[in-house]
Amino acid sequence: MTERVVLAYSGGLDTSVAIGWIAEATGAEVVAVAVDVGQGGEDMEMIRQRALDCGAVEAYVADARDEFADEYCMPALKANGLYLDRYPLVSAISRPVIVKHMVRAARQFGAQTVAHGCTGKGNDQVRFEVATTSLAPDLRTIAPVRDLALTREKAIDYAEKHDLPIATTKKNPFSIDQNVWGRAVETGFLEDIWNEPTKDVYSYTDDPTFPPVADEVVITFAGGVPVALDGVAVTPLQAIMEMNRRAGAQGVGRIDIVEDRLVGIKSREVYEAPGAMALIAAHQELENVTLEREQARFKKGVEQRWTELVYDGMWFSPLKKNLDVFVEETQKYVSGDIRMVMHGGRATVTGRRSEAALYDFNLATYDEGDSFDQSHAKGFIEIYGLAAKQAAARDERFGNGVDFGTGDL
């Protein structure tokens, strides 16, 4: 039986050429796998037909939009996943679901190898390959651009020579990856980190300099997941899409960052994630109301480690799975409503309410009805500061006390 290779197929020039390129370089038949994670653009049936027209022996097409929203975006929301406190893991969380379908296709069509179109400089090569080995250790991976010397110039020449049904003359100055959780833009003039992004960089967001009338939305959460917008029930996918539309119209979610790639390179990236950033801001505020103080403090560290693991391609790792259990447990009481005003590039929380809130008006108020017994405060402070008081007294005994004449204070 002829060996088969499953290729992650986007429908673009590089992966279209890779079908024939892989076949010629390895002698294998190519099965193209296209996964819809809400990236928009062309119809998936057209992409399926293009793959076959470019020489694929089979074309596996999956509508994974709800799966992606439910099983990948929602865990990222619950973990407030923001790499370097700014990037909402747009590309990082899409790779595991794509790999899951690639492995499924490999089993279905009897392939021994999977392939992706990543270069040797980026994070995605790691995400594709580590996810593959985590789900199917027996499969091997090849990367035509990295391993088979498939450059863009060679891809254009190959497409023209073989009359492939793909445009070869127009070269987009940017490298773009997008899905329902957001959009990532890099390369071109953005590689000079002094250059300001131009208007054509953006697609998901309107210019926040000239915003429309402010948009107020009430987001209802249940167990850390958005379940309604302005009282209308929504699925996770619908919530993200609607917030993309409304927050995007206000210019919310534009991110311009120099980030640390896993391979050790600093890279300038421009992201648009209007729905993700607005939902994360709302979710964080609801957690402020419903999580116990020490639980919330510890979760911050868990969130950072969770985010680093996902960014670094370890979605299916044992530690990531362990942290998932902790994050999920913290969401038990993260239910309620967040009122948010979106305007001029900002998403500002203006109200919060929850049946599970730990906020007690009678404890917090300074007015009539105050139920806090202030007589307890003096003893609390004595005990709280006792260890520091003892250490200060020891310093004095050994001549290491504060020298008030040297500007230490």
Q: Is 268 a catalytic residue?
A: no
Angle of CA points 365, 366, 369, to nearest 5°? 65
Q: Is 95 a catalytic residue?
A: yes
Q: Are 70 and 38 in contact (CB under 8 A)?
A: no
Q: Note the helical H segments in 136-196.
A: 144-147, 152-161
Does the annotation list 271 as a binding residue?
A: yes
Cα–Cα distance, 274 to 47 (Å, whole number): 27
Question: CB under 8 Å to 92, separation ≥6 — which residues?
Answer: 83, 123, 127, 310, 311, 313, 315
Does the annotation list 127 as a binding residue?
A: yes
The model's pTM: 0.93
Q: What is the DSSP letter of 351?
A: E
Does the annotation list 356 as a binding residue?
A: no
Q: Are 45 and 217 in contact (CB under 8 A)?
A: no
> How would DSSP label each residue in 247-264?
HHHTTTTEEEEEEE-TTS
pLDDT score at 171: 60
Extract the residue ranges of the chain whose pLDDT is less than 50: none
pLDDT score at 409: 53
Nearest to 226 by CA among 71, 74, 72, 66: 74
pLDDT score at 169: 56
Does the annotation list 14 as a binding residue?
A: yes
140-191 pLDDT tens trace: 999 988 887 787 788 888 888 888 888 765 566 688 899 999 999 988 899 9
The active-site residue out of 14, 36, 206, 312 is 14
Token pair for residue 320?
């990531």
Which amino acid does the sequence have at 169? T
- Sign of the torsion formed by the C-alpha atoms of 265, 266, 268 and 274: positive
Does the annotation list 124 as a binding residue?
A: yes
> How would DSSP label each residue in 203-257?
SSS--TTS--S-EEEEEEEETTEEEEETTEE--HHHHHHHHHHHHHHTTTTEEEE
Taking the CA of residue 196 as centre, how many other CA atoms within 13 Å lie in the half-sphere pointing to its CB? 2
Q: What Rg, from alpha-carbon coordinates, does the chain have?
A: 26
Cα–Cα distance, 200 to 176 (Å, whole number): 12
Does the annotation list 10 as a binding residue?
A: yes
Q: Is 14 a catalytic residue?
A: yes
The active-site residue out of 175, 261, 346, 353 is 175
Angle of CA points 205, 227, 68, to nearest 5°? 60
The active-site residue out of 65, 91, 124, 312 is 124
Q: Are 247 and 278 in contact (CB under 8 A)?
A: yes
pLDDT score at 222: 98
Q: Is 107 a catalytic residue?
A: no
pLDDT score at 12: 86
The active-site residue out of 48, 65, 95, 254 is 95
Does the annotation list 203 as a binding residue?
A: no
pLDDT score at 407: 58
Does the annotation list 87 as a binding residue?
A: yes
Domains of the chain by start residue, with CATH:
4-173 (3.40.50.620), 176-353 (3.90.1260.10)
Q: Are 255 and 273 in contact (CB under 8 A)?
A: yes
pLDDT score at 406: 59
CB atoms within 10 A of CB 274: 28
Phi, psi of 25 (to 5 degrees): -75, -30
